[in-house]
Amino acid sequence: MTGRRYRWSVLAVAGALLVLIVPVTTSGLGIGIQTGMPIGGFLSIRDWITPVLGLEAITYVSSSNGQLEGQVTGRLLAWGNRWQSGDLYVAGGVTYGFPEGNAALSGVAGVEFGLPISSSITWNLEAGISYRYEQGFSMAMSTGVHFYFSRP
């Protein structure tokens, strides 16, 4: 087994164990970091507007040689299944890169589960498909960590 496959196997097993033992609290407004391909990103704000539907905005902005560049992503999230220690969901949206003006559509399935340090802090993994007009279809992958504020 190569080193890369071994690392992914260890991460998958660790993630599965966390899903089994840590309760998750995923409701309301969350802020965190979400990154991957094609969504890019860094700062993520999620809001579960109903028990089943959520909205997410992800952004990354930098300046290079005096030129502003980055990506902005908007996504709709929908719960597929909830259990005590983790949640399955699907997400779809569009990513816009600037100043190039290129866009990508993506759809993913994800799992989000609580971390041992706090049930308000969650970690997610996503995989799916993306489409860019210039490049066609490709794989989409993402991971993130969010802190969810409790709702009154």
- Give me the CATH number covering residue 17: 2.40.160.20
| 83-141 confidence digits (pLDDT tens) | 766 789 999 999 998 888 889 999 999 999 887 787 788 899 999 999 998 889 999 99
* Count of the separate structural domains present in the chain: 1
Give the chain's mean pLDDT: 81
User: For residue 130, what are the contacts with CB-CB under 8 A and spacing of at least 6?
Assistant: 37, 38, 104, 105, 106, 107, 137, 138, 139, 140
Domain that holds residue 21: 3-148
* Cα 127 from Cα 5, distance rounded (Å): 17
